[in-house]
Amino acid sequence: MQAVLFDMDGTIIDSEPYWMIAERELVESFGGTWSEEQAYALVGSGLWNSASLLRAAGVDLELDDIVHRLSDRVLAQIEEAVPWRPGVRELFTSLLDAGIPCALVTMSLRKNAEALARAVARELDQEVFQAIVAGDDVTSPKPNPEAYLTAAEALGVDCRSTVALEDSAYGAASAFSAGAVTIGIPLHVGIPESSVHVMWSSLEGVTVDHLREVWRTERMVGSA
């Protein structure tokens, strides 16, 4: 295992409720309605895909404007309170101690990803991510493998030598198809078993040794 690739929303932070608030507020500001079911259907999806569905729900703005309004609203909420997922900060410390490089792979805008990376660095008093791949860095969003392949390339490693941590079906499909050993940690939505190598309930108590063991086991199975 040469690197670990982290999704952001729902994996490092439980920001999905922030996105849902931003979506509902935006749709309602144009006189529409936005259901919880509609919100959950977008979890893990690319922002421009989400924006097109919000536009169909009555948001009379260009797609780029929708994306930036949503992102700014979520960023404002994160700056008020970072909703960390259990165990993630301890796992970062374990990876740093072991010298394992990490990348952030998210469909959020780069400005949001960089803000989260700064928050992690403040929390741990050192930089964690050697690479960031965001939604505005790729041509094809998750579930396409482009984001994870780009992150592995940025770290100078083969994606098959990485472990990816994901909370959504779109994200897991992206990592899995890129060749990463994919660990699903579903939070707000389910993940098909076919899109992950292992499914965990959370990252609480997880260390770099646990990730190495999963990677070794899956690579031994794959080479058998």
pLDDT category of residue 92 using cuts at 50, 70 and 90: very high
Rounded mean pLDDT of 25-36? 94
**Does 147 have pLDDT greater than 90?**
yes
Rounded mean pLDDT of 134-160? 96
Q: Following CA atoms 175, 146, 169, 115 in sequence, which dihedral angle do they give, to the nearest 10 degrees?
A: 90
Which residue in the list 7, 9, 137, 167 is annotated as catalytic? 7
pLDDT of residue 189: 84
Residue type, 48: W
Rounded mean pLDDT of 112-126? 92
Rounded mean pLDDT of 3-32? 93
Q: pTM value?
A: 0.85
pLDDT tens figures, 158-207: 999 999 999 999 999 999 999 999 999 998 889 999 999 999 999 999 99
pLDDT of residue 81: 83
Please count the other Cβ atoms lying within 10 Å of the Cβ belonging to residue 221: 9
Rounded mean pLDDT of 53-60? 94
Task: Characterize the bridge pairing of strands 162-166 and 3-6.
Answer: parallel
pLDDT of residue 44: 67
Buried b or exposed e, range 48-85, using 16+ CB within 10 angstroms? ebbbebbbebebeeebeebbbbbbebbbebbeeebeeb
The mean pLDDT value of the chain amounts to 93
Task: Output the CA torsion sign for 220, 222, 223, 224.
Answer: positive
- Whether 7 is a known active-site residue: answer yes
